[in-house]
């Protein structure tokens, strides 16, 4: 449970006096996309952004990797080489060009970038002066055959106190407030956030204080809405409960706090305390340097569970990079020395790895979890709509379960993998990330649920087939009587062939109509007739009881 202290955002004076020379924060916010049509299988939601209806500030990135080798940079090569071949096919496809993707042979990822948002203005409670941070990019990641979209927003600030960086890490990525104070202030959020264009003009502003808006959404739709500046960022897509008309709708998969990645290049990393590392690892609010955010007992194994110290050893001399990685699932933080080129080099250093290799690791980890949550939500909706007494509902249930099973199988064989790299740091961080997110447990639960549904469908199919076979068997058995009779009548005993055509038609109808009625009646009584045949074949049943069963067949 996170702190709900609403106040004066941050008492920076009470925190460590460490300066963050470069602070980067990447929000990775998985959202569920709603089906475009009632019976749609594979939906290409991104077509709405490329069409006339969605024309605006979103532009598709046709190719992250340039086709001209002269424009190819080393970071592109390092990023590609960091992953195993099956992950490379997932990220980049089987060829360099990303244009014209429509099948499983190409990369399933479609990326759209917002071109008008250049900065964000952050207002902190109790302070007059806001902080402007650069928005490096605001993107949308779509995935072929999976109804998930992941908005990604990267911001950067320079020369800010550690307490300010912790405050941004704690408060910026909030979809909606967790609550409000008695004076109406939103808890755990910034006082206000504004998106700015290239000229510094405000494009949109948050409305965290509009308590009635959030109350109304929960009361009327039993779902939480999101702040207006996030609605603006995701437009022209709209939130699912909105009354507006729009084919592409999204809904939230998790709670109000967005998963976040952060990069901190510190002026004096040695001055950071263990409590500060904990606050960064959990994305907690700033506090006193020696005051831990949670109880000491809870944090006994902090270094073992949340720290990756392969490159962190304060006992070494100045030649050591001393880079520490922190991961708690919802938060991934890289901390290093701003004076060390191996940590700050944007082309070959860790900064390049953070923005490319480790970003993709986080994207894959959160995509896996989001896809599983999306399919789990679909199962809940499917089961909730089932009405046993309605044949139409049961038929619809079978169709939806088969569709979910097909989606799960495609996801498993194309997207879900437990190993993504042979490079030890990338491999270890991915495993740590997945473990904290509980993805493997979620996958196992979903697979078992779908297996139960599939077993139900198979059992139901066998039951219906057995019932049909029983009806056909009984009907065929009793039809032998009519077959023998009509066959006997057709042995020239009665010379009907010489009669006039009208008489022959009447004779035909006189036989056809009773035979048809008898057949239909036999099908209707097939289950009870089967009971009579079982009793007739059982030598242990007395003739009196056999006749009683027969009478029950005809009476009922």
The Cα-based distances of 124 to 81, 181, 258, 420 in angstroms read 42, 16, 19, 40
Exposure letters 287-324 (e unless 16+ CB within 10 A, then b): bebeebbbeeeebeebbeebbbeebbeeeeeeeebbbb
Kindly indicate the confidence band of residue 83, based on its pLDDT and cuts at 50, 70 and 90.
very high
Least confident of 70-79, 105-114, 515-524: 515-524
Rounded to 5°, the CA angle 222-185-2 comes to 70
What pLDDT score was predicted for residue 102? 47
The Cα-based distances of 393 to 385, 397, 398 in angstroms read 7, 6, 9
Kindly indicate the confidence band of residue 4, based on its pLDDT and cuts at 50, 70 and 90.
very low
Determine the distance from the C-alpha atom of residue 121 to the mean position of all C-alpha atoms in its chain, rounded to a whole number: 30
d(CA 419, CA 87): 9
Other beta carbons within 10 Å of 485: 12
Cβ–Cβ < 8 Å for 117, 233: yes
What pLDDT score was predicted for residue 474? 63
Kindly indicate the confidence band of residue 479, based on its pLDDT and cuts at 50, 70 and 90.
low
User: In terms of residues, how long is the chain?
Assistant: 556
Q: For residue 29, count CB atoms less than 10 angstroms from its CB and return exposed for 0-12, middle for 13-18, buried for 19 or more.
A: buried
Determine the distance from the C-alpha atom of residue 320 to the mean position of all C-alpha atoms in its chain, rounded to a whole number: 40
**Higher pLDDT, residue 477 or 340:** 340
Kindly indicate the confidence band of residue 270, based on its pLDDT and cuts at 50, 70 and 90.
confident
d(CA 274, CA 514): 92
Least confident of 20-24, 89-93, 214-218, 294-298: 89-93
Which pair of tokens denotes residue 139?
């993107």
Strand (E) or helix (H) holding 280: helix 274-282
What pLDDT score was predicted for residue 64? 59
Least confident of 223-237, 373-387, 437-451: 373-387
d(CA 551, CA 556): 8
The DSSP string of 176-199 is S-S-B-TTSPBTTS-SEEEEE-TT
| Residue 308 CB partners (closer than 8 Å, separation 6+) | 324, 325, 326, 327, 425, 428, 429, 432
Instruction: Give per-residue pLDDT as tens, 177-186.
Output: 999 998 889 9
Closest to 263 (Cα-Cα) out of 144, 160, 413:
160
What pLDDT score was predicted for residue 394? 77
Instruction: Give per-residue pLDDT as tens, 507-543.
Output: 777 777 777 777 777 667 666 666 666 655 555 556 6
Instruction: Give per-residue pLDDT as tens, 392-416.
Output: 777 788 888 888 888 888 899 889 9
Instruction: Give per-residue pLDDT as tens, 28-54.
Output: 999 999 887 655 556 788 888 876 555
Q: Could you give phi then psi for residue 513, rounded to 5 degrees?
A: -65, -50
Percent of the chain with pLDDT over 90: 46
Least confident of 46-50, 166-170, 296-300, 302-306: 46-50
Q: Would you list the domain boundaries of the chain?
A: 469-555
For the chain, the average pLDDT equals: 83
d(CA 199, CA 179): 34
- Per-residue pLDDT averaged across 45-73, rounded? 71
Closest to 415 (Cα-Cα) out of 445, 450, 449, 439:
439
Kindly indicate the confidence band of residue 99, based on its pLDDT and cuts at 50, 70 and 90.
very low
Q: Which residue has the tokens 């046993």?
A: 388
What pLDDT score was predicted for residue 7? 44
Which pair of tokens denotes residue 24?
């980067």
The Cα-based distances of 485 to 488, 511, 526 in angstroms read 5, 11, 21
d(CA 3, CA 283): 11
What pLDDT score was predicted for residue 469? 72
């Amino acid at each position: 449970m996170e702190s709900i202290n609403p106040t004066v955002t941050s008492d920076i004076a009470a925190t460590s006096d460490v300066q963050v020379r470069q602070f980067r924060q990447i929000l990775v916010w998985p959202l569920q996309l709603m089906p475009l049509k009632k019976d749609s299988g594979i939906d290409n939601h991104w077509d709405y952004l490329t069409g006339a209806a969605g024309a605006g500030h979103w532009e598709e990135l046709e190719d992250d990797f340039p086709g001209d080798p002269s424009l190819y940079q080393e970071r592109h090569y390092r990023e590609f080489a960091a992953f195993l071949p099956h992950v490379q096919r997932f990220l980049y496809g089987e060829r360099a060009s990303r244009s014209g993707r429509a099948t499983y042979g190409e990369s399933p990822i479609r990326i759209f970038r917002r071109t008008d948002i250049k900065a964000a203005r952050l207002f902190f409670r109790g302070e007059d002066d806001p902080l402007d941070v650069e928005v490096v990019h605001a993107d949308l990641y779509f995935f072929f055959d999976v109804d998930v979209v992941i908005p990604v927003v990267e911001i950067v600030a320079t020369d800010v106190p550690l307490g300010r960086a912790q405050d941004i890490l704690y408060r910026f990525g909030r979809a909606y407030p967790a609550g409000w104070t008695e004076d109406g202030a939103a808890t755990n959020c910034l006082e206000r956030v504004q998106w700015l264009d290239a000229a510094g003009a405000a494009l949109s502003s948050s409305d965290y204080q509009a308590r009635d808006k959030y109350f109304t959404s929960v009361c009327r739709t039993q779902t939480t809405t999101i702040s207006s500046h996030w609605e603006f960022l995701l437009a022209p897509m709209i939130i699912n409960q909105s009354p507006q008309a729009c084919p592409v709708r999204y809904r939230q998969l998790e709670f109000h706090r967005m998963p976040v990645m952060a990069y901190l290049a510190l002026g004096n990393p040695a001055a950071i305390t263990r409590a500060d590392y904990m606050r960064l690892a959990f994305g907690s609010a700033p506090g006193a340097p020696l005051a831990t955010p949670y109880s000491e007992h809870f944090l006994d194994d902090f270094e073992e569970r949340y720290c990756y110290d392969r490159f962190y050893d304060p006992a070494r001399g100045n030649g050591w990079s001393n880079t520490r990685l922190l991961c708690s699932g919802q938060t991934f933080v890289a901390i290093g020395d701003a004076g060390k080129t191996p940590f700050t080099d944007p082309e070959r250093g860790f900064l390049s790895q953070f923005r490319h290799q480790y970003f993709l690791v986080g994207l894959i980890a959160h995509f896996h979890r989001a896809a599983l949550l999306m399919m789990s939500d679909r199962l809940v909706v499917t089961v909730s709509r089932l009405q046993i007494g309605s044949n139409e509902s049961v038929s619809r249930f079978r169709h939806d379960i088969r569709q979910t099973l097909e989606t799960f199988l495609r996801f498993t064989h194309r997207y879900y993998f437990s190993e993504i790299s042979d490079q030890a740091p990338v491999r270890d961080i991915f495993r740590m990330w997945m473990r904290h997110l509980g993805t493997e447990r979620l996958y196992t639960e979903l697979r078992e649920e779908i297996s139960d549904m599939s077993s139900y469908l198979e059992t139901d199919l066998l039951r219906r087939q057995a019932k049909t076979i029983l009806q056909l068997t009984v009907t065929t058995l009793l039809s032998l009587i009519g077959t023998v009779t009509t066959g006997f009548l057709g042995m020239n005993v009665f010379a009907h062939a010489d009669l006039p055509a009208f008489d022959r038609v009447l004779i035909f109808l006189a036989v056809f109509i009773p035979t048809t009625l008898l057949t239909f009646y036999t099908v209707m009584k097939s289950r009870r007739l089967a009971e009579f045949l079982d009793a007739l074949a059982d030598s242990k049943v007395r003739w009196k009881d056999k006749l009683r069963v027969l009478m029950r067949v005809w009476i009922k």
